[in-house]
Amino acid sequence: MGPRIETARCLLRLPELDDAPAISRYCGEYDVAKNTARIPHPYPSLGAEMWVLITRAAWTPQGNQSLTVEHEGAVIGGGGVFRRTPNADWEIGYWIGRPWWGQGFATEIGQALVALGTQTLGASRLIAGHYDDNPASGRVLEKLGFGYTGKAEHLFAMARMARARSLDMVWEATV
């Protein structure tokens, strides 16, 4: 069930219950969680287990895709392609555990997510964003072909328990 996407170094797949401790440990770190909208800090293992069960139960081939990222058999991150509302643009998001920062995994995973959004979900336009205090994510998105729209929003970040300025970016297929 669900996609299995292989990149040069990673496997993106539906999360499994056995992934919950690593998800809780790595994406629950404040420096990781604060750069996402929906990941709390701390992130208890039971919360990660619930997320896995809900994600698996809600999965459909043309619906939101939330995936775990494996490298050498270990969970190192996650990512997805999703719509916030049924008629919204498809959006990508990702997180990488701190031990794997600066090694090109975000770009590699991002390329797989763009391909998933365009080739599987049929998107000709993808959106993404990053908090303005996380310029590294903006550089990753630029490598993927995203450009800044000039718009910014103050979005709630669960780990921060506050709103933070998020810079909007867009990717559009070239004809």
Cross-strand bridge partners of residue 131: 166
Please report whether residue 8 resides in a domain: yes
Please report whether residue 158 resides in a domain: no
Please report whether residue 36 resides in a domain: yes
The burial class, CB within 10 Å (0-12 / 13-18 / 19+), for 135 is exposed
Please report whether residue 160 resides in a domain: no
CATH number of the domain that residue 67 is part of: 3.40.630.30
* pLDDT at site 88: 95
Please report whether residue 69 resides in a domain: yes
Residues spanned by the domain of 14: 4-123
Please report whether residue 174 resides in a domain: no
- Distance CA(136)–CA(174), nearest Å, equals 25
CA distances from 148 to 70, 111, 152, 154, 162 (A): 30, 18, 9, 16, 23
Q: Which residue in the block uniquely carries the two structure tokens 């896995």? A: 52
The burial class, CB within 10 Å (0-12 / 13-18 / 19+), for 151 is exposed
Token pair in block for residue 104: 């090109």
In the sheet that holds 10-13, the strands lie side by side as 4-6, 10-13, 65-71, 74-82, 90-96, 125-131, 162-172, 147-157
pTM over 0.85: yes
The total domain count for the chain is 1
- 34, HSE (Cβ side, Cα atoms, 13 Å): 11
Mean pLDDT by 10 residues, the chain (175 residues): 94 98 97 96 96 96 96 98 95 98 98 97 97 97 98 97 98 86
* pLDDT at site 175: 64
Please report whether residue 111 resides in a domain: yes
Please report whether residue 89 resides in a domain: yes
